[in-house]
Amino acid sequence: MLSSYRLGDLVMLSLKESEKNAILTEHPNSFASKYILESKKQNNEYRNIELITKIVVEYIEQNTHILPKDIEDSIVIHLRLGDVVAGIHGYEQVKRPLKIEYLKSLVINDTNKKYIIGKCFFGEVSSTNYEECQYFSNIYLENAINELEAEHFNSGDPDIDLCCAVKSKKFIQGRGWFSQLILEIRKQLNIHNNIETAPEAWPF
């Protein structure tokens, strides 16, 4: 659960050099590592959406077999789980998961296949009540799967989850910078069939 891998924060905000070095050491073949190394060459590390999009597209082209065969006809819903579900820090509290009733309202008459992406995540800055967060995350995820009649696409790799969302017919944003990054990549690719839920559209 504990991980140095914060791809959304890396691209959309910035990370300290020590945090980037941790990614390079612990996740050397990841999108984030490729982004760090290439963006330094370009002298452009802040919100280099064109670069991260290139990295993602190249990976998808070479690894289409790892995604669901029906992904381009499906909806992908990102759920932010882990620290934000029951964490006590202010940034965690304002990123509490979207209410399932709200998510249902977004797909009420949509008969397309629905996939959920998301897993428990805790970074160095997360609250440490891990068991509580994981317990409530599991409940929330199970309820979302049942209420939305969705399937959890659990690749175990955030890069693959991101590819799944990028290739989907429609993407429903969760909370946090990982979801925002997915939206920005889809926009870069002129894919506009998205439902934005943050920050101005957050109703709760």
Q: Which residue has the tokens 């440490």?
A: 128
Distance CA 122, CA 87 (A): 10
Distance CA 113, CA 150 (A): 7
- So what's the pLDDT on residue 43? 85
Q: Flag whether pLDDT at 9 surpasses 80.
A: yes
At 5, list the tokens: 């891998």
Kindly report, residue by residue over 53-98, the tens digit of the pLDDT: 999 999 999 999 999 999 999 999 999 999 999 999 998 998 899 9
- So what's the pLDDT on residue 94? 86
User: 167 with 67: CB under 8 angstroms?
Assistant: yes
More confident residue, 117 or 204: 117
- Confidence band, pLDDT 50/70/90 cuts, at residue 125: confident
- So what's the pLDDT on residue 82? 94
For the whole model, what pTM was predicted?
0.93
- So what's the pLDDT on residue 200? 45
User: 113 with 69: CB under 8 angstroms?
Assistant: no
* 120 phi and psi angles, rounded to 5 deg: -60, 130
- So what's the pLDDT on residue 2? 84
What are the structural domains, with CATH classification, of the chain? Answer: 7-65 (no CATH), 66-195 (3.40.50.11350)
Kindly report, residue by residue over 35-55, the tens digit of the pLDDT: 999 999 988 878 999 999 999
User: 5 with 30: CB under 8 angstroms?
Assistant: yes
Task: Please choose, from the candidates 75, 39, 74, the residue with its C-alpha nearest in 3D space to the C-alpha of residue 54.
Answer: 39
- So what's the pLDDT on residue 202? 44
Kindly report, residue by residue over 131-183, the tens digit of the pLDDT: 999 999 999 999 999 999 999 999 999 999 999 999 999 999 999 899 999 99
CA dihedral for 35, 116, 189, 96, sign (positive or negative): negative
Q: Flag whether pLDDT at 203 surpasses 60.
A: no
Q: Give CA 130 to chain center in angstroms.
A: 20
- Confidence band, pLDDT 50/70/90 cuts, at residue 199: low
CB atoms within 10 A of CB 142: 11
Give the bridge partners for 116, in sequence order: 77, 152
In the chain, pLDDT over 70 holds for what percent of residues? 96
- So what's the pLDDT on residue 204? 37
More confident residue, 36 or 1: 36
More confident residue, 52 or 2: 52
CA dihedral for 134, 139, 142, 144, sign (positive or negative): negative
Query: If you ran DSSP here, which 8-state letter would residue 41 be given?
Result: H
At 60, list the tokens: 């998808």
Output the average pLDDT for the chain.
93
User: 186 with 192: CB under 8 angstroms?
Assistant: yes
